[in-house]
Structure formats: structure tokens, C-alpha cells
Amino acid sequence: MSNEVLKVDADLSAVKVIQSVGGDTVKRCYQCATCSSVCPLSSDEAPFPRRQMILAQWGFKERLLSDPSIWLCHQCGDCTKYCPRNARPGDVFASLRLLVTRELVPFRFMHTFYNNLWGLPILILIALMFILPVMFLTFKGVPNISDPVSFPYNPELNYKLAFIELPARVLMIDLIFLPLAVFIIVIMANAVSRMWNMYLDYYKIPVAYRSSWITIIKTYLGPAFREILAHSRFEKCGSNSWRANPHKMLLYAFIILFITTGTVFILADILGMHTPWNPFTHPVKWLGNVGGILLLYGIISLITGRNRAVLENSLKTAYPDAFLLWLILFVGISGFSIEIARMIPVFYNFVGFIYLCHIISVFLLFLAIPYSKFSHLVFRTTAMTFDLYYKDILKKKDL
């Protein structure tokens, strides 16, 4: 029998980082494996969260960030409910997901702003730094936001671009959000590529089994999307099973609003249909309002449900959770407030101010995709796609 001693050097700085972003209970774990036993989402191929908890205790940050299992966890709370030490593995996983987000995308300071309360006014200032110059440019000076005829519905300010004519408000939205969308797509595409390569290295996938991006998208992304749309993993959760339905409604709301936005872009920017449409008579407005109602239902249900879960000690709402929830709520409320203010004379003069607040909140929500908990929209999809891909590789190896 060998008497060789294996020495493991703990990275205490990494442990402190994990604790600082919400995983403050990680040191309570004493490896009883109760969490992995009760987790309804833990599979035989990739059991969690016991292994990840010990890696977190020793500060093996790089190995954790390369592990797709942290995204397969939906923080249902079963592990927290039955943990005899209240180590809260789900909360530790949430902190690890934030670390992945911070490590994979550039401009790390933005991640800091999004995940700390003191960063909120800075984020608003950043949004204004982009929005106001475009507003002043397209409206040829400082518009009177207390007069909706001046801002945003000025009938006299139109711009001839190639074969189309755009009102000032439409051009303003294009100049703000099209560059922002390109920026987000580029950095998230790069982050997904890095993430995928990390997984390939982590699982030591042989070159012979590595598929092209086209094959991955055709074979595995579709099933991952279907699983996400069905919320089948969410519905396996026990302690916080209430999250499945409102989370699903919120997902459907974003899909509907994405379709609405794309339709508006085609109608307004390509076909030249610019008149502010009546919410009672225009089909696109109907679709947008359905999406808005689902959004408000989903987000209000999640906020109230989380408050109950916090009282029951089955879930913890850290600042990154609260920020995203309330930001989405504000986007929904401000969007409906524009319609309501336009229809009620006593509130009509507030349309411009509400419109500006809505643009700021939507800007912050878009920019939250790479820098906040909202990144799970992309990264969890990537991890679930890889999970299907890896299971298929295991089957091929057994043949």
C-alpha cells in the first residue's frame, strides 16, 4: 500500500469570490451527498451538486466554470430543503453561474455594475449617455418631453433614407437598439464558442467525436429548445414547483414580444407604416399586448412566489435576482403606461417622459443579457445542448 500523500492547495481567493457573489454558505457543506440524492435533475452521467460543492470549497474555480452541470441546475430548492447543514447548494450554483458570466464576456466592470446595488445609478447614466445624444440628433435638439406632439410623435421630423422615410422616433430607436443588438450578438457568440470549447476540454472529447457547428445546431439545438419550451426540467422540481408555470409564461412573453418587435421593424422600417397604432384595432398591438400581459403575469408571480419561498427558507433572493425581476417588471409597466397615458387626456402630457423611461429600461434589459443573471437565456441553452450532445457521444462509445 502506498503511503504517498496527495497535497491539494486550496485557492482561498477563489473561495472568497464564490462567497462574495452569493455562495456564502459553501463552507458549511460536509459532503453527506444528500443533495445529489434528492435532486430530481441530477443524472447518472453528471450527478450534482455534491461534486461541485467540494470543488467550490477548495476554490477550483476553473474546473467549476468549465462544468455544464452548474447550468443544468434550475435552483428548485430541493437540495436546500433537505440539506442538514443549510449549505444551500442551489445558491452556490447561482453564484457559480454569475462567475461564468463574468469570466466569459468582455468589459467585466459592467458585470460588477449589474450585480451590485450601487451600480444601478451608473447603469442608468450609461444608458442615458447612449440614448440622449441619439435623441438630440434625431429630434434636432432637446425635445419637449412634456409635449407628446414634440416627443416622441413629432409629425414634422422625418428622414429620407434610400427608398424609405422614417419618423424621428423610429430612426432614434433604430440608432439606439440596432448597434446594441449587434454588440450583444457578437460578444455572446464569442462567449458561447469559448464555453463550448471549455466543455469539450473538460470532458476530453476525442477529435473523432467532435461535430461541426452546423451538425450541433441541426441535431441537438432543436431538442434543447423543445425541452426549454416545455419546461420539463422545471416541472420535475419539488420544493419550488410553483416556479414552472410563471417562468414558462415569462419565456413565452419574451418570444411573443420578440416576434412583435420583428414585425414592427418590418412594417415601420421597410414598409413605412409609422402611425402610432390603436391598441384596440391593430393586430400587431394585440399581439404585443398579449405578450405584455403574459410578461406581467409571469414576473409578478415570480416576485410574489420568491417572497414566499424566502420566508420558507427554500430559496434566497440575492441582489442579482431582485434586480432582473424588478427591471423586467418595470419594462412591462412602463410599456403599458405609454398606451394608457395616450388614451387618458389627464396623463397625455406624461407620454414623453414615460416613453423615455421605457427606452432606458429596455436598453438596460438588453444589455443585461451578457452581464446579469439574464445570461442564462443563452448559457443554459448552450449547456443543455451540450448535455444532449455528450449523452449521444456516450451512446456511440458503448456501441
Q: Is 59 helix (H, G, I), strand (E, B) or coil?
A: coil
Which one-letter DSSP state was computed for residue 234? G
Q: CATH top-level class for 12-104?
A: mainly alpha
- Alpha helices (H) along 241-318: 244-265, 283-311
Would you say residue 45 has pLDDT above 70? no
Sole residue written with cell 430607436: 173
Task: List, for residues 294-324, the tens digit of each pLDDT value.
Answer: 999 999 999 999 888 888 777 788 889 999 9
pLDDT at 9: 61
pTM of the model: 0.90
pLDDT at 333: 97
Domain boundaries, the chain: 12-104, 108-398
Q: How far apart are CA 230 and CA 224, in angstroms?
A: 10
Which whole number is the average pLDDT over 158-167? 82
Mean pLDDT score of the chain: 87
pLDDT at 386: 93
Query: In this prediction, what percent of the chain has a pLDDT beyond 90?
Result: 42
Q: How far apart are CA 19 and CA 35, in angstroms?
A: 19
Task: Give which of 341, 306, 339 is closest to 321, Cα–Cα.
Answer: 306
